[in-house]
Chain A
Amino acid sequence: DAGVTQSPTHLIKTRGQQVTLRCSPKSGHDTVSWYQQALGQGPQFIFQYYEEEERQRGNFPDRFSGHQFPNYSSELNVNALLLGDSALYLCASSLVNTGTGYTDTQYFGPGTRLTVL
């Protein structure tokens, strides 16, 4: 059973460029969440996608956008890159608990290391 996969593993961009990161959830999961982990810090929640819609969003600017496809995979897009966007971007997948409406345990992928020069 494949876990959460992310691509690419590493990426180097320059300021002002745009980037797209990809995530495939664990088999059977329907929800994808994205987190940004700056060096030496804990991950910060960017947003969560469920049923192809953004369900919840953290304190990130509109330059950060996403998409979820019918097969539950997801993309994270970042426009007008800044040096401060350099970080490890983590994708987590989970399954919505139909009783509570909340997601169950989130399982993380290996991450994409983005460097902005």
Chain B
Amino acid sequence: AQSVTQLDSHVSVSEGTPVLLRCNYSSSYSPSLFWYVQHPNKGLQLLLKYTSAATLVKGINGFEAEFKKSETSFHLTKPSAHMSDAAEYFCVVSGGGNKLVFGAGTILRVKS
């Protein structure tokens, strides 16, 4: 079975400072991992995905994530937060099947 734990339900940063959203996963298979973002009253947008190629994955809008098998982690980072980054972020695992298993989400607040 697959599962995802997002370690922070809320993260608050100042504009221009780094962003770190933490995610640990559990999977019986070699996993595919994703980060999706959801702006208020909107659907989910894919930020980036890991599928057993390079462990450092670059996504859209300056986000990136590093797959660390030894730590079963897939943390999302961005060097400098922008006001438009304020949203809810979901870490997602898919392995051994076709369904996506979502974490509970992390709400990112960006202060001006």
Contact = CB atoms under 8 A, between A and B. Distances in A.
A17 interface: no
A18 to B, nearest CB: 24
A42 B104 contact: yes
B102 A42 contact: yes
Contact of A108 (B36, B98, B99, B104): B36
B7 interface: no
Interface residues of A, number: 24
B97 A110 contact: no
Contacts of B46: 105, 107
Given A107-B46, A108-B43, A42 B99 contact: no
Interface of A: 4, 31, 33, 35, 41-45, 48, 55-56, 58, 90, 92, 102-103, 105-111
Interface of B: 34, 36, 42-46, 49, 90, 97-105
